[in-house]
């Protein structure tokens, strides 16, 4: 049965009810009009819109059929029967949707929506690591491009990284590319970690043998900026603040926080907790989205730190994506099939 599209006035009213504390009214009117056009086109073209938790509030509250963290959106991408998937997130997420849906058209509204972690490693880097550590299974964070996933045995997200590492038989894993997520997983699972130099000296011993995780020095350009000092300053000013940190933050920041988890885990934590004030060490648009959904709770965030890639995704470009069928995400079939193995193994673990 076809669902009715809300008329523009109704959509504006529902956006205003959710967002009046975080988005000015004139902006809401303009964005409701764009969102209405997108929702009409979405139905006409049998498209589904997946929206990451980092999307800006007006987009987040109006056009996605599903919102969530990387793992949840991966599951939604695996089960959709729409003809077109519009991914309001960054390129590696849209690629993962394509890996799972070769027969569907996958669109990303901006070709500029990259990710510093995905840029930090190439397929050749992974091949070289595998040659240096033969037989050691490779786990790659979902924040990588398809050719890197294709070199991997398992994929993982921030929502299941420790679970995936623990599910793998054997003494060692290569965990790529996020230095901090790897260190946080090592801490959580009680494993010792090393970061081998990029180019080993000829004839030099590889490394001491008492390690179980081999990491890589990639970083998220947003989460690496948060410091223990930021937390101390906020706690001095507002002692009752509950601090939440994404696991892409350094282990020191995660240790100084009260909770660490995926973007959805942080959203659920605030929903379920009674504290009056929170500091979110993650992308700031998500702070706006949580503030809008929890009007009695105050969200403190360091808004100088925005993800420039997630911020490339706008309502204007999403409308153009549907009008012009742009930008189509493609993954070569041979790469896709190898990457799919790693993604499916992750989905099977949970």
Return d(Cα 243, Cα 199) in angstroms, integer: 38
> Which one among 96, 110, 152, 158 touches ligand 13P, defined by CB under 6 A?
158
Cα dihedral 152, 107, 78, 1, rounded to 10, equals 180
- Selection from ligand SF4, ligand 13P, none that 262 binds (CB < 5 to 8 A by kind) is ligand 13P
Q: In sequence order, what are the beta bridge partners of 178? A: 218
- With binding defined as CB under 6 A, does residue 178 bind ligand 13P? no
Cα dihedral 149, 154, 158, 164, rounded to 10, equals -170
Return d(Cα 17, Cα 274) in angstroms, integer: 22
- With CB under 6 A as the contact rule, which of the stretches 156-164, 196-204, 273-281, 317-325 interacts with ligand 13P? 156-164
- With binding defined as CB under 6 A, does residue 90 bind ligand SF4? yes
Burial string for 234-256 (b: 16+ CB within 10 Å, else e) reads beeeeeebbbbbbbbbbbebbeb
DSSP state of 192: -
> Which one among 39, 62, 67, 70 touches ligand 13P, defined by CB under 6 A?
70
- Selection from ligand 13P, ligand SF4, none that 53 binds (CB < 5 to 8 A by kind) is ligand 13P
DSSP state of 218: B
> Which one among 263, 289, 318, 335 touches ligand 13P, defined by CB under 6 A?
263
Count of residues touching ligand SF4 (by CB under 6 A): 13
Look at the block and give the residue holding tokens 């964070």: 141
CB 195 within 8 A of CB 164: no
- With binding defined as CB under 6 A, does residue 67 bind ligand 13P? no
| Interface with ligand SF4 in residues 291-350 (CB under 6 A) | 307, 309-310
Per-residue interface string for the shown chain with ligand SF4, residues 245-264, x marking contact by CB under 6 A: ---x----------------
- With binding defined as CB under 6 A, does residue 260 bind ligand 13P? no
Shortest reach from residue 311's CB to ligand 13P, in Å: 12
- With binding defined as CB under 6 A, does residue 117 bind ligand SF4? yes
- Selection from ligand 13P, ligand SF4, none that 221 binds (CB < 5 to 8 A by kind) is ligand SF4
- Selection from ligand SF4, ligand 13P, none that 260 binds (CB < 5 to 8 A by kind) is none
> Which one among 151, 283, 288, 317 touches ligand SF4, defined by CB under 6 A?
283
DSSP letter for each residue of 307-347: -TTGGG--HHHHHHHHHHT-SBP---HHHHHHHHHHHHHHH
Count of residues touching ligand 13P (by CB under 6 A): 12
Return d(Cα 217, Cα 178) in angstroms, integer: 6
Cβ-based nearer residue to ligand SF4, 137 or 247: 247
- Selection from ligand 13P, ligand SF4, none that 309 binds (CB < 5 to 8 A by kind) is ligand SF4
Cβ-based nearer residue to ligand 13P, 137 or 159: 159
- In the chain the beta strands, taken as DSSP E runs, fall at 47-52, 66-68, 84-88, 105-107, 138-141, 154-156, 173-176, 193-194, 213-214, 242-245, 259-260, 277-281, 298-301
- 142, 140, 148: which is closest to 122 by C-alpha? 148
Return d(Cα 177, Cα 140) in angstroms, integer: 7
- With CB under 6 A as the contact rule, which of the stretches 28-36, 151-159, 188-196, 198-206 interacts with ligand 13P? 151-159
Look at the block and give the residue holding tokens 């965030």: 301
> Which one among 182, 222, 313, 346 touches ligand SF4, defined by CB under 6 A?
222
Q: In sequence order, what are the beta bridge partners of 17? A: none
- With binding defined as CB under 6 A, does residue 184 bind ligand 13P? no
Contacts to ligand 13P by CB under 6 A: 53, 69-70, 143, 157-159, 220, 246, 248, 262-263
Contacts to ligand SF4 by CB under 6 A: 90, 115-117, 143, 220-222, 248, 283, 307, 309-310
């Amino acid at each position: 049965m076809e669902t009715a599209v809300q008329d523009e006035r109704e959509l504006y009213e529902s956006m205003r009810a959710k967002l009046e504390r975080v988005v000015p009214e004139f902006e809401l009117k303009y964005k409701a009009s764009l969102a209405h056009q997108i929702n009409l086109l979405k139905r006409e073209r049998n498209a589904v819109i997946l929206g990451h938790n980092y999307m800006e509030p007006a987009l987040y509250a109006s056009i996605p059929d599903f919102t969530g963290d990387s793992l949840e959106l991966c599951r939604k991408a695996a089960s959709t029967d729409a003809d077109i998937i519009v991914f309001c997130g960054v390129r590696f997420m849209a690629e993962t949707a394509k890996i799972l849906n070769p027969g569907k058209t996958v669109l990303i509204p901006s070709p500029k929506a990259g990710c510093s972690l995905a840029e930090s490693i190439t397929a050749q880097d992974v091949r070289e690591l595998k040659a240096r550590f033969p037989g050691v299974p490779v786990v790659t964070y979902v924040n990588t491009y398809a050719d890197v996933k294709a070199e991997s045995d398992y994929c993982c997200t921030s929502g299941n990284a420790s679970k995936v590492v623990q599910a793998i038989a054997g003494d060692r894993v290569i965990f790529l590319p996020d230095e901090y997520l790897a260190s946080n997983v090592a801490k959580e699972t009680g494993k010792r970690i090393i970061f081998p130099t990029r180019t080993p000296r000829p004839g030099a011993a590889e490394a001491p043998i008492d390690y179980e995780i081999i990491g890589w020095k990639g970083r998220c350009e947003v989460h690496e900026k948060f410091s223990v000092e930021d937390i101390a300053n906020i706690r001095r000013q507002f002692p009752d603040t509950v601090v939440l940190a994404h696991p892409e933050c350094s282990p020191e920041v995660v240790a100084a926080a009260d909770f660490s988890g995926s973007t959805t885990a942080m959203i659920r934590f605030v929903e379920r907790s009674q504290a009056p004030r929170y500091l979110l060490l993650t992308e700031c648009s998500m702070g706006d989205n949580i503030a809008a959904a929890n009007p009695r709770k105050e969200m403190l965030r360091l808004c100088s730190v925005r993800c420039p890639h997630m911020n490339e995704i706008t309502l204007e470009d999403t409308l153009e994506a549907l009008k012009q069928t742009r930008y189509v995400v493609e993954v070569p079939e041979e790469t896709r099939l190898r990457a799919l193995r790693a993604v499916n193994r992750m989905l099977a673990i949970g």
